[in-house]
Structure 1
Amino acid sequence: MNRKRWLALLLFGLALTLLAVGLVRLTRPQESGRPWRETTLYGHGEKVVLLEVVGSIPVGRGLEDLLSQIRQAREDPSIRAAVLFVDSPGGSVTETEAIHRALKELAREKPLVAAFGTVAASGGYYVATAAREIFTPATAITGSMGVIAVLPQVQGLLAKLGIQVEVL
């Protein structure tokens, strides 16, 4: 084979490797942050639950744990309200939407308010929009809902290498 075909084959193999690594990272379960705990601050009986989204939007086991906490908060009659604490730069769109949907269901049945830490951007901000009110410090980095896609422009490189792309 000539050099151009070897280079094309090498680039294709590299692309497949990157795709495989990305899929493994997406499907790999992550460990839960910390065990659940219940603390009585005052009185007894009725409760207010604290739900936390700290760091990147959770995936895998972390996502399952958070969704389970939200569901339990919605179903437990002794929980009268929920506070969502967000200190997150965002994360995956699919997981963010799942959390937002679960929080909207909770907010339909019980009061839900959100409080921001130092960062509530992108998906972190979006999950908080399910709450009736959001409390934020004036110095918090807030906003930038959206999606970022990186699309490398390699047409010039391919042209220099004499590689053509045919779409079927």
Structure 2
Amino acid sequence: MTTTPTTTRQHTVVDSPYGALTLVATDGVLSGLYMTGQRHRPPAETFGVSDPGPFDEVIRQLDAYFAGELREFGLPLELAGTPFQRSVWAELVRIPYGETRSYGELADRLGKPGASRAVGLANGRNPVGIIVPCHRVIGASGSLTGYGGGLDRKQRLLAFERGTEGEAPALF
């Protein structure tokens, strides 16, 4: 008789300067960070039981990030996606704090020139926004283009990282 491994999912909701964030863990490892009203947000019933237990370090690092004390997260992640999506997400974490890259630049870095649209779709499906910084990706013209958490949040996150939050918006 073969037994199927059991997956445990837990979640908690934390406040941030950009609204409530729902953190989701799969078997104790961060697998989701979702904003209120986020496009491609899974149904709440898939988040598992409410339990803040597995999130102490995630919350500590998020607090440090929002305080301007952390520029690079160091958390284990359990990201469910296609091999191409995971390759895009791995490239996202290489974009330095306060900097941006275009979808085309990411496609080139992945050895897939011309795949900027596919990169954009994978970027939009990033299950761990902020920590895997999909907000740092812009259009080829420097425009903000889409963001699953909303363009206002994207603009605010980029301004925060550049130390220009509260100033008039600039063309990125």
Question: Which category describes the TM-score, using the shorter chain as reference length?
Answer: under 0.3
Structure number, greater radius of gyration:
1
Q: TM-score, normalised by structure 2?
A: 0.25
Q: TM-score, normalised by structure 1?
A: 0.26
Q: Which protein is richer in helix relative to its size?
A: 1
Q: Which protein is richer in strand relative to its size?
A: 1
